Copies of this chain bind each other. A is one copy, B any other.
């Protein structure tokens, strides 16, 4: 128990979390501190490339154990299941209409890769190893949630509305499946897998050594964006919606914890599976919702996911999930 608090405390005063807090505070105080869009995107590309490559190289090094397929199946199942729970919960308690509830639900079934990255970083500091292929699980979890949420949104509309001009659905599915971040994460994973530890050795002073520092800068930017989102968007979040933003990661996380333990992941692996299930997308899914469900209000789902759930997971969630994983696996 003491250890848990120690890890939670260490997490809270890590440069990563403090950088996020700095950005969040600066935005709330209306400082003009800001990152150029191009710089934020470049940092995100770096993080995706590095985390994907490292995962692949680690699989190449340690070999594939049989749980890989199970983990991927479990990830896909969680991504499809969580939106159903989220949708039910939102409809029951939040007063959001069907379309908005479905749009929010999609975010929670999908994942936040930055939360995942921050968790790997916290695990590394705590000396907990994890399965490299969880990066592939993360990539797999991005999409199913979107499909389920669209089905939820449209189930209520009786039948599909007539085709809109310029609105090919085929284009939409390709866009979702070939979404840049999935492609980069998966591609870098495959490159890491093919080139293995030798490839990693060639570029590790780029993708390993400065990784945590880059993550700090990126979290600083996330803090700025999240804080600005809260400043301008908080009025769109009714109290039950805010409560959902804290409760849902715990529910999703519990499912991830169970799934990870069942399929026999390592303690670190269970912690990451829990984190993935608990995290909510705020990059890929919002864009997909603007295309597929334009009637839903982005001020609700973006503010909730980035302004409430992301900070919760980053500060309280990650140490909690790690502790729970250690407990459950006896690790």
Contact = CB atoms under 8 A, between A and B. Distances in A.
A75 to B, nearest CB: 21
A41 B213 CA distance: 17
Contact of A209 (B35, B37, B205): B205
A113 to B, nearest CB: 14
B195 A45 contact: no
Interface string A23-42: 00110011111111111011
A157 interface: no
A61 to B, nearest CB: 15
A212 to B, nearest CB: 5
Highest count of chain B CB atoms <10 Å: which of A25, A202, A205: A202
A37 B38 contact: yes
A152 to B, nearest CB: 25
Highest count of chain B CB atoms <10 Å: which of A35, A187, A195: A187
A73 to B, nearest CB: 25
Contacts of A188: 22
A101 B11 CA distance: 50
Give how many copies assemble into the complex: 3
Contact of A205 (B18, B25, B210): B210
A290 B205 CA distance: 39
B22 A199 contact: no
A220 B49 contact: yes
A96 interface: no
A32 B35 CA distance: 22
Highest count of chain B CB atoms <10 Å: which of A37, A194, A203: A203
Contact of A42 (B42, B179, B184): B42
A13 B45 contact: no
A125 B37 CA distance: 35
Contacts of A236: none
8 contacts: A15-B191, A15-B199, A15-B202, A22-B187, A31-B180, A38-B42, A205-B213, A207-B213
Interface of A: 13-15, 18-19, 22, 25-26, 29-39, 41-42, 45-46, 49, 53, 125, 174-175, 178-181, 183-184, 187-188, 190-191, 194-195, 199, 202-207, 209-214, 216-217, 220
Chain A to chain B: the 3 pairs with minimum beta-carbon distance, closest first: A206-B213, A33-B180, A36-B38
